[in-house]
Amino acid sequence: MMNTKVKILSALKSVYDPELNINVVDLGLIYNIEITESNDVTITMTLTTPGCPLHDSITSGVRYSVEGLEETGKVEVNLVWEPAWSPDKMTPEGLRLLGR
Amino acid sequence: MLPQTMGSETNIKLPISFILFSLFALVLSQIQLLVNGQLMTDGSFRIPVIWSSAHFLVLGWALMAAMGAMYQLVPVAFLTNIWNERFGFIQFFVTAVGITSFAAMLYWSPQNAIIPGVLTLLGILMFLVQMFMTLSKQAKPTILTAFVGSSLVCLFITISLGITLIYSLKTGFASEYYQSIFEAHLLMGVSGWFTLLIFGFSYKMVPMFSLSHGFPMVQAKFVYGFYLSGLVVSLVSFFTNNSILLKIGFLLLLIGFTIFSWHIKIIIKKRLKKTLDKPFRFALVAIGFGNVIHLAAFIMLWNQDVSHFAGPLIYAYLLLWIVLSIVSYLYKIVPFLWWTYKYSKEIGKNKVPSLKEMMNEKIVPTLFSLFIVAVLIVFCALTFHVAILFNIGQFVLSIVFIIIAISILKVLKK
């Protein structure tokens, strides 16, 4: 299970916010990854702002990237606005890419 | 945690149709000015060729680009789908035919511009219906809804006053109020429709492009209150010929704009993105120009020869605030539209380019700086009536506009 989670996180690192050119993991958009016994995955995530024009593209990209893994079954993306995204959710690498 | 449903993206063909038409109109309006516009240097603004070119620039380019941008931005900014996309395509066709025939008729036979004018009006009315129906579906209206909704009301008033002007020209109807209606038409169009619209969407786009967080929004209410009061008071002053009321109106507009500039500065200070994209930086420069021109317009009211400065200042306001803002944002919006069309299904599967890689940003500082210099040259030419200066400035400007249009169109090859 732990191994699958690592692979999912690695796959998610290939999904970039095209405006910021930072992946969704380093941006701190991924809140939770749940894996069932049958390897179905539910990803809870947010976006930097509720009115993000890349709303559909990023959430679809997250789903596609995880669906592409051999270890996973059904993938569901659960987009939430609470708790709201804030900069402290970013990784040091994400902040570095923003010039911080 | 509150789960949300997925949003839905507008059919890209709708906003892109408007934007492509707008680029065509932009180039054409510039060529028209270049060939015929020298008359402006004699202070003759109200002549058929200027009417035609100004309407091609303002309606054909700025209005159509704004409509295209709104078809894209309204669903994302207000979290609601466009009311009826098919209706949107019909609206595009009616408006495009209307504006083209209207600008052509203003050039060749202004007194017969009423029918294409009505067609343009119909297209704009259809757009207003589309937007009001879309905004009415919004679950929780915000201050952005107030800005955008009010700008749409101003657009309706502008067009109605414009049609009244043509009718007055043809029949003599309300001829004693012709000057007042003309002034109201200009104010509602440039400051009402465009400025309120740019204010509204700036509050969405500035934090988005700078990744700003934790900024206050209370100032936006003051911007709205002061600017809208300024519009109303100025409008009343035109019809009552009350110069004190006009000064109060322009002061309120200046205060509203200044609070907006200050508020944007606060938002930018709260940004996470250290280096801002080049086109976006010019959208911020445009705010500075808009503020300075508002101040100049207020000072101008104390001068005896107001009419001498009014034309050049309106020109500068249109170009350095409205056009510069729209062009700067187009450099962000068009790559986004094309990226969505071409790569949104590829993200997560294959490597996709970033939005920055969709556009050649390197030319932006030179191109936009040239644009500013050219507009300032034309502004001086109009103020001091120097024909050679006008020709130089307008020539550079037309070339810059054509390069801007080509560089934006080149995104479609990525």
Kindly tell me if the per-residue pLDDT of A50 is higher than 90. Answer: no
pLDDT of residue A54: 80
Residues of A within 8 A of B78 (CB-CB) are 51
Model pLDDT for residues A7-40, shown as the tens digit of each residue: 999 999 999 998 888 999 999 999 999 999 999 9
The low-confidence residues of chain B, meaning pLDDT below 70, are 1-10, 37-46
Which is higher by pLDDT, B49 or A76?
A76
- From first CA to last CA, the distance across chain A in angstroms is 34
Q: What is the mean pLDDT of chain A?
A: 90
Q: How far apart are CA B73 and CA B208, in angstroms?
A: 12
Using CB atoms, which residue from A21, A50, A53 is nearest to B356?
A: A21
Say how far apart CA B371 and CA B321 lie, in whole Å: 12
The three-class DSSP label of residue A17 is strand
> Tokens at residue A55, please?
């709303």
Q: How far is A44 from chain B (nearest CA, A)?
A: 9
* Residue A100 in domain: no
User: Measured between CA atoms, how close is A52 to chain B, in angstroms?
Assistant: 6
Would residue A66 count as lying in a domain?
A: yes
Predicted pLDDT at B39: 64
CB-based contact A82 B1, cutoff 8 Å: yes
Q: Does residue A24 form part of some domain?
A: yes
Q: Do A14 and B348 touch (CB under 8 A)?
A: yes
Give the span between the Cα atoms of B97 and B115, in whole angstroms.
12
Which regions of B91-232 does DSSP assign to beta strands (E)? none
Specify the pLDDT at position B44: 64
CA A76/CA B311 separation, integer angstroms: 59
CB contact under 8 A, A18 and B343: yes
d(CA B96, CA B120): 8
* Contact call for A98 and B274, based on CB within 8 A: yes
What pLDDT does residue B380 have? 94
Question: What pLDDT is attached to residue A6?
Answer: 92
> Is residue A57 packed enough to be buried (19+ CB in 10 Å), middle (13-18) or exposed (0-12)?
buried
- Flag if A87 and B7 touch (Cβ within 8 Å): no
The whole-number pLDDT of residue B3 equals: 38
- Chain A closest-CA separation from residue B363 CA (Å): 19
Option in B77, B273, B348 nearest A15 (CB) = B348
Chain A hits for B3, CB-CB cut-off 8 Å, are 78-80
**A38: distance to nearest CA of chain B, Å?**
23
Q: What is the per-residue DSSP string for B67-78?
A: HHHHHHHHHHHT
Chain B residues whose CB is inside 8 A of the A66 CB are 348
State the residue for tokens 């993938």: A75
CATH number of residue A31's parent domain: 3.30.300.130
For chain A, what is the domain count? 1
DSSP letters of A20-84? TTEETTTTT-EEEEEE-TT--EEEEE--SSTT-TTHHHHHHHHHHHHHTSTT---EEEEEE-SSP
User: Is B347's CB within 8 Å of A51's CB?
Assistant: no
pLDDT for the residue B1: 40
Q: Which domain holds residue A7?
A: 2-95
Measure CB to CB from residue A57 to each of B72, B213, B340 and give the nearest one.
B340
Sheet holding B3-4, edge to edge: A30-35, A41-45, A75-80, B3-4
**Residues A26, A96: Cα–Cα separation, whole Å:** 10
